[in-house]
Amino acid sequence: MGERWNLIATRGPGPFVTQEVWRSEGGETVVLDSRCRRKRSPRLNPALRRGAHGKRAFLWAPRRLTWWISVLFMIGATCFAVPSLSVFADATSAMTVAVVYLAGSLFFTSAGYLQLFESINAGRESGPGAAQGLSHRLVPLAWQPHRIDYWATLVQFVGTLFFNVTTFRALDITLSGRDYDYEVWRPNAFGSVCFLIASYLADAEISHSFWHQRVRTLAWWIAAANMVGSVAFGVSAVSAWELPSGAMLFTDTARLGTLVGAVCFFAGAFLLLPEAAREQPEVPADLVGTCSPVHAPAPEEPGCRGSD
């Protein structure tokens, strides 16, 4: 018989629980955090291999889901950043620019889906079924509205689909005026709004609050980079409105916003690698089936587990 664990505190924005504090009969305290449990899921992210001198080889870890999310987002961000440079646009054709943007949106969508997949399946590692020894199979889609990380990843994935539409329609370089605004600009604006909402929800998960911000943690810097990138994409979308004359509202601002947003998304994606490379804290076996996947409470972000 294992120790009995009691839930003594929970935190989270609104109705969502993003952190749980459990205490055993022996006085040990365990803090379970949603992002930590998700990003360091042992099933989705197996242990890192060790290279020379014992350094963690997190820069090449294709067996880990988080690694693929990071790499695909970085490739997509690069595909948005490069054609936003005037030197590239001037040296190539409008069709080439449009194709590179489309490629970037597809990489964003693939990474966005893997992020949603991660959220869905990391959440299935705990609960009564786990306590009873039942194995949960990986599922491609699920409905988990009680989790804020589910909403954040779902909304971002929808946003990437809007970017697929806008970049695909932009391949028709003859579109202009009202047709361009309807078929290209509008889904671009919707995608930017989705990214803003998703970034805010991701920050709320990390902060355990809709209003109070947590600083000086790696996860916070990732969320901050993505938030700035989303704002920049939003500025770019507004600036890309096409006037009846066929000219963009603010062409240079639209390009600059896309470039800044892409650089921020690249930075946020890269920081996923060291975040996921941290050790997965062990959770007592008696608690695995009891707890829900919920971010470390201390500012220095020591991990998912703590003791008193």
Note the pLDDT tens digit of each residue in 53-92. 445 667 888 989 999 999 999 999 999 999 999 999 899 9
Using the predicted structure, report yes or no on whether residue 3 has a pLDDT greater than 50.
Answer: yes
Output the pLDDT for position 248.
Answer: 65
- Give the span between the Cα atoms of 187 and 183, in whole angstroms: 7
Handedness of CA 231, 148, 297, 273 (dihedral sign): negative
Q: Strand (E) positions, the chain?
A: 5-11, 19-24, 29-33
- Give the span between the Cα atoms of 270 and 67, in whole angstroms: 9
Closest CA to 1 of 285, 261, 255: 285
Output the pLDDT for position 227.
Answer: 97
Using the predicted structure, report yes or no on whether residue 1 has a pLDDT greater than 70.
Answer: no
Q: What is the pLDDT of residues 261-271, one digit of tens each?
A: 999 999 999 99
Q: What is the pLDDT of residues 35-51, one digit of tens each?
A: 988 888 888 888 766 65
* pLDDT tier at 137, thresholds 50, 70, 90: confident
Task: Retrieve residue 279's tokens.
Answer: 């050790």
Q: If DSSP codes are grouped into helix, strand and coil, which group holds residue 248?
A: strand
- Give the span between the Cα atoms of 272 and 45, in whole angstroms: 12
Residue labelled with tokens 């979308």 = 237
Output the pLDDT for position 123.
Answer: 64
CB 192 within 8 A of CB 159: yes
Closest CA to 237 of 291, 163, 301: 163
Question: By CB neighbour count within 10 A (0-12 exposed, 13-18 middle, 19+ buried), where does 274 fall?
Answer: middle
Using the predicted structure, report yes or no on whether residue 221 has a pLDDT greater than 80.
Answer: yes
- Give the span between the Cα atoms of 260 and 236, in whole angstroms: 9
Output the pLDDT for position 136.
Answer: 66
Q: What is the pLDDT of residues 263-299, one digit of tens each?
A: 999 999 999 998 887 655 555 444 444 333 333 333 3
Domain boundaries, the chain: 60-128+137-276
